[in-house]
Amino acid sequence: MNTRRLQWLLFAWFFVFPFLPLPPYWITIGNYIGLYAIVALGLVLLTGIGGLTSFGQAAFVGLGAYTTAYLSGVLGVSPWLGLPAGLLVSGLSAALIGSVTVRLSGHFLPLATIAWGLSLYYLFGTLEFLGKYDGLSGIPPLALFGLDLSAPEAMYGLIWLCLGGCLWLVLNLLDSRSGRAIRALASGRTMPEAMGVDTAQYKILIFVLAALMASLSGWLYAHLQRSVSATPFGLNMGIEYLFMAVVGGIGQVWGAILGAAVMTGLKSQLQDWLPRLFGSQGNFELVVFGVMIVLLLLWARQGLWPWLAGAWARWQPPAPLPLAPASAPAGYAGLARRSKPAPGSLLLDVDAARKAFGGLLAVKDMSFALRAGDVVGLIGPNGAGKSTMFNLLSGVLPPSGGAIRFCGERIDGLGARRIMELGIGRSFQHVHLLAQRSVLENVALGAHRRGHAGPLAAALHLERHEEARLLHLAAEQIRRCGLAEHMYTPAGSLALGQQRIVEIARALCSDPLLLLLDEPAAGLRLQEKQALAGLIRQLKAEGMAVLLVEHDMDFVMDLTDRLVVMEFGSKLAEGLPEVVRNDAAVLAAYLGGIE
């Protein structure tokens, strides 16, 4: 059976639970597992997949809980209105906090989440109308079409339905154009921006989505407990939510349930047993959790879900997700393509470009040009400034001076996304791929700007036609680059040379006019180099221009129309490969030392 179907089948079993002759305590535990799993799921998306660590999620649970508690408990409004109101309050707060917080990177981001988590906690405990630290009570139970949902069994059904809905939305979202962009966030800014992904926008999106899920959990919690106070929304709980996501498997959607179940079950058992063992009351379970997390981080950093999934995969290997359509889907021909420039027309004009890093001039008044169909090699010794030149052309770095024009338009100072949109595709010297994802998904990321469906359409599975077209396009580029047999292989398990080819296929998905290849032949075997040279010749014949940095001189001399040689940031020579090869200055500075 398909792994995804099996997962849903197992999930459906949770709905049988309340009908079994179990003690009511089990239903209570089941309710809390469901509530926590909803928050942990948001953290899987935000922290595990998007790479943004948050300790402050409990505060958004509090926003959802307090909003509905105040509206329904104090103002007497319908509890069902408390849900959209809570989502609105949490969503707006998350958009506001997120727009400031997600700009931070490294350890500053988790520190900031601790800061606003604490602030909101103290706010709940200080505000008079929220009952200060005593909180609010008298929250009415939920009722649906006259059906009273106050019984724990009824709330269980609602909580797990909500969890199922969130899982469905998140899984759909992740299997889409937006999902690929979200997965790319964890690799830093450079690669996703070069693929046309607006990283700031997607970071705020997952921040808001995680807050909305936390808020939903808060709404359910308030109507289950019928009273709220600040304590369950403090930093302690924020850390526990993160533990749950880590224990389940931080990047694993289904791991959220596993983590919440293990932590909740363990906590209730430890709270029972440890005081008996030590003969006194206290929060001993937190000490055990602390030790457990350290051991987990030492020995099973990926959490429990991958371990379970691995065991299952040994029994039945999972079918790859997503799959490329077998034939061109309807409307595929309509995927926008650029109009091609006339052969030989001027594409790229670099005029006295420079880049200074403090006192170091890494690129010093470099000038050269590329025409449609040109294959030009940018060569030079280590540290000559070639990668910096690439970064200026692709918008990763802003130039300190000079002018760069592409198709007649000034592009110096434009961001990587805009430059990519104009038709410059690139690969990286140090491969930037999503190692755990299939080659198909990695390559499809390059087609990000050729799709338009937003995250809502993706979460609701309404963009399947566009998605099929993007995947078909990616599959075509993979076949074109000779990697068809690796279409569904995780990119990280390919040889380094093949990973470089995956990057080229990804760049081709954006339908570029100019391709910047940074050391594409490094790590390739002879046959693979010949295949790559064949591909570049084919691209040239199609009118694409290629600028490549490469240290393999046989490869470069065979393939290029012209060479530009850099040394200490400046242009040392430019001309036909056979002329440059014999240039005395080039021989002295570079080629003399190359085998």
Ligand X SMILES: Nc1ncnc2c1ncn2[C@@H]1O[C@H](COP(=O)(O)OP(=O)(O)OP(=O)(O)O)[C@@H](O)[C@H]1O
- Residues interacting with ligand X, by CB under 6 A? 357, 360, 362, 380, 382-388, 429
What's the min distance (Å) between Cβ of 353 and ligand X?
12
Provide, rounded to whole angstroms, the least separation between the CB of residue 358 and ligand X.
Answer: 7
Identify residue 590 by its one-letter amino acid code: Y
Q: Shortest approach of ligand X to residue 429 CB, angstroms?
A: 6
For the CB of residue 426, give the shortest distance to ligand X in the complex, in Å: 14
Q: Which is nearer to ligand X, 339 or 382 (CB)?
A: 382
Q: How far is the CB of 571 from ligand X (least distance, A)?
A: 13
**Closer Cβ to ligand X, 11 or 568, answer by number:** 568
Nearer CB in complex with ligand X: 84/383: 383
User: In terms of CB distance, is 64 or 380 closer to ligand X?
Assistant: 380
Report the amino acid identity of residue 224. Answer: L
> Closest distance between ligand X and the C-beta of residue 198, in Å?
23
As measured in angstroms, the least distance from the Cβ of 134 to ligand X is 55
* Residue 105 beta carbon to ligand X: minimum distance, rounded to whole angstroms: 15
What single-letter amino acid sits at 322?
P
In contact, 62 and 233? CB cutoff 8 Å: yes
Residue in 372, 373, 378 with CA at minimum distance from that of residue 393: 378
CB nearer ligand X, residue 209 or residue 366:
366
| Nearest alpha carbon to residue 491 among 557, 450, 535, 446 | 446
Nearer to ligand X, 361 or 447 (CB): 361
d(CA 526, CA 119): 60
Cβ contact 378:547 at 8 Å: yes
Q: How far apart are CA 141 and CA 342, in angstroms?
A: 70
DSSP, collapsed to helix, strand or coil, labels residue 460 as: coil
SS (H, E, C) 128-154: HHHCHHHCEECCCCCEECCEECCCHHH
- Which segments within 173-281 are labelled E, that is strand? 227-228
How far apart (Å, rounded) are the C-alpha atoms in residues 587 and 581?
A: 7
Query: Which residues have CB under 8 Å from 152's CB, separation 6+?
Result: 24, 27, 28, 31, 224
Nearer to ligand X, 467 or 552 (CB): 552
Q: In this structure, are residues 220 and 52 in contact, taking their beta carbons and an 8 Å threshold?
A: no
- In whole angstroms, the minimum distance from the beta carbon of 430 to ligand X comes to 9
Backbone angles phi, psi at 563, to 5 degrees: -120, 140
Residue 111 Cβ, how far from ligand X at the closest point, in Å? 25
Kindly tell me which of 90 and 388 has the beta carbon lying closer to ligand X. 388
* 524 contacts: CB under 8 Å, gap ≥ 6: 497, 500, 501, 532
Cα–Cα distance measured from residue 426 to residue 417, given in angstroms and rounded to the nearest whole number: 12
Q: Which residue has the tokens 């889907």?
A: 329
Residue (302 or 429) nearer to ligand X, CB: 429
Q: Which residues pair with 426 in a beta bridge?
A: 516
Residue 290 or 383 with smaller CB distance to ligand X: 383
* Residue that the structure tokens 């755990």 belong to: 436
User: One-letter amino acid identity for 485?
Assistant: E
